[in-house]
Amino acid sequence: MRHYITVGILVIVAAFGTYFGLDALELMPEAASAQAGPIDWLWNYQVIAISFLFALIVVPLVYSLIVFRRKKGDTSDAEHIEGNTNLEIGWTIAPLFIVMVFAYMGSYSLSEVRRADPQAMIVKVHARQFSWTFEYPEQGGFMSNELHLPVDRQVLLQMDSTDVIHSFWIPEFRVKQDVVPGRVTELRITPTLINLPSQPYKVRCAELCGSAHYSMESKVFVSDESTFQQWAAEQLAAYAAAQTPEAKGELLAKNNGCFGCHSPVGAALVGPTWKGLFGSQVQLSNGTTVTADEAFILDSILNPQATIVAGFEGASAMPAYAFTEEELSYIVAYIMSLK
User: Binding residues for ligand CUA, per CB under 6 A?
Assistant: 166, 205, 207-209, 213, 216
Angle at 240 between CA 236 and CA 246, to 5 degrees: 115
Cβ-contact 102, 49 below 8 angstroms: yes
Choose among 294, 307, 290: nearest CA to 335. Answer: 294
Least separation in angstroms between residue 127's CB and ligand CUA is: 6
DSSP of 314-328: TSPPPPPP---HHHH
Least separation in angstroms between residue 163's CB and ligand CUA is: 9
- Residue nearer to ligand CUA on the CB measure, 166 or 262: 166
- Residue nearer to ligand CUA on the CB measure, 239 or 321: 321
Positive or negative: CA dihedral 73, 77, 79, 85 = positive
- Residue nearer to ligand CUA on the CB measure, 11 or 270: 270
- Residue nearer to ligand CUA on the CB measure, 216 or 331: 216
Cβ-contact 101, 93 below 8 angstroms: no
Residues composing the chain? 339
DSSP character for 270?
A: S
Least separation in angstroms between residue 191's CB and ligand CUA is: 22
Torsions phi, psi for 58 (to 5 deg): -75, -40
Q: How far apart are CA 278 and CA 293, in angstroms?
A: 6
- Residue nearer to ligand CUA on the CB measure, 270 or 335: 270
- Residue nearer to ligand CUA on the CB measure, 204 or 275: 204
Least separation in angstroms between residue 14's CB and ligand CUA is: 39
Least separation in angstroms between residue 307's CB and ligand CUA is: 25
- Residue nearer to ligand CUA on the CB measure, 216 or 277: 216
| All residues at 6 or more sequence positions from 123 whose CB lies less than 8 Å from its CB, including other chains | 134, 135, 136, 147, 149, 155, 156, 157, 158
Least separation in angstroms between residue 208's CB and ligand CUA is: 6
123: helix, strand or coil? strand
Least separation in angstroms between residue 205's CB and ligand CUA is: 3
Cβ-contact 179, 165 below 8 angstroms: yes
Least separation in angstroms between residue 248's CB and ligand CUA is: 27
- Residue nearer to ligand CUA on the CB measure, 152 or 160: 160
Q: How far apart are CA 315 and CA 167, in angstroms?
A: 20
